[in-house]
Amino acid sequence: MIVADQKPLEEILQMLASYKRVLVLGCQSCVAVCMAGGEKEVGIMASAIRLARRQQGRDVEIVEGAAKRQCDDEFNEPFAGTIEKQEAVLSLACGVGVNKLSERFALPILPALNTRFFGEVERQGVWTEVCAGCGQCILHLTGGICPIARCAKNLLNGPCGGVRDDGTCEVKPDLQCAWILIYNRLQQLNRLDYLAEIMPAKDWSADRAGGGPRKRVREDMML
């Protein structure tokens, strides 16, 4: 899922300073699961903004809502009538949702979150980056453990010399060396022979570094 953090309330209040009618719109997908922008977080955010504005002696009218997926017009459309009555929308979606609403509506769409990474739920309340979305997956060769996302140096051919005796990374002491995890996993799968193959330099043109935003087109699915 896409993992995001809420911005500090002070920053959000600053963004909203000149508006009196605001829709606080959450997203019930990824950011709901990572407890940053779902229905519950919308309630807490709206309540916090009302209290803060009351403390400042400045009135604000807040409408609350949460779209199924803000990254899809279809799910934002039911809110169109409400959105058009506002001075601004505070979006609790990832950056994709903010972009999507901005393309569709003529009023300011303000981000309440800092979008961070693609992550897994490590345990309740902890999310970890495990995929970098580089556009050229090699997980079949690395036992399902991504060295691009999980190695601090994005190495493709085994660990660097900085791995510590306890198997952690020299860059981050609490980070397990991705290449030790890969070795252990390939040993478990009885495929250590994969490590004998030298991986060529990665083609980064499939990554965002290849130049600007990426696009996926499926002609057969288009209407």
Partner 1 sequence: MPEVGQENFEPRLVAFCCHYCAFAAADLAGVLRLKYPSNVRIIRLPCTGKLDALYLLKAFEVGVDGVMVAGCLEGSCHFISGNLRAKKRVQATQELLKRIGIEQERLEFFNLSSAQGNRFAQIAHEMTLRVRALGPLHHAALAANPAAVAKGSG
- Which one, 48 or 132, has the nearer CB to partner 1? 48
Q: Where are the alpha helices (DSSP H) in 61-164?
A: 73-76, 80-84, 95-104, 147-150
Cβ proximity to partner 1: between 57 and 200 the closer is: 57
Strands (E), the chain: 2-6, 21-27, 61-67, 88-91, 109-111, 113-123, 126-131
Smallest separation, CB 64 to partner 1 (Å): 11
Min CB(14)–partner 1 separation in Å: 12
Q: Which one, 73 or 122, has the nearer CB to partner 1?
A: 122
CB of 59 to partner 1, least distance (A): 4
Residue placing its CB nearer to partner 1 in the complex, 44 or 171: 44
Q: Checking DSSP bridges between strand 61-67 and strand 21-27, what pairing results, if any?
A: parallel
Count of alpha carbons within 13 angstroms of residue 102, beta-carbon side: 13
Q: Which residues bind partner 1 (CB under 8 A)?
A: 8-10, 40, 43-44, 47-48, 50-59
Numbers of helices and strands, H then E, in the chain: 8, 7
Nearer CB in complex with partner 1: 54/214: 54
| Closer of 55 and 190 to partner 1 (Cβ) | 55
- Rounded Cα–Cα distance for residues 135 and 208 (Å): 8
Tokens of 150: 């999980």
Task: Give the shortest CB-58-to-partner 1 separation in angstroms.
Answer: 7
Q: Please state the closest distance from residue 138 (CB atom) to partner 1, in A.
A: 39
**Closest of 52, 29, 55 to residue 41, by C-alpha:** 29
Residues facing residue 176 across a β-bridge? 168
User: From residue 60, how far is each of 42, 51, 82, 167 by CA, in Å?
Assistant: 16, 10, 16, 53
Minimum CB–partner distance for residue 53 and partner 1 (Å): 8
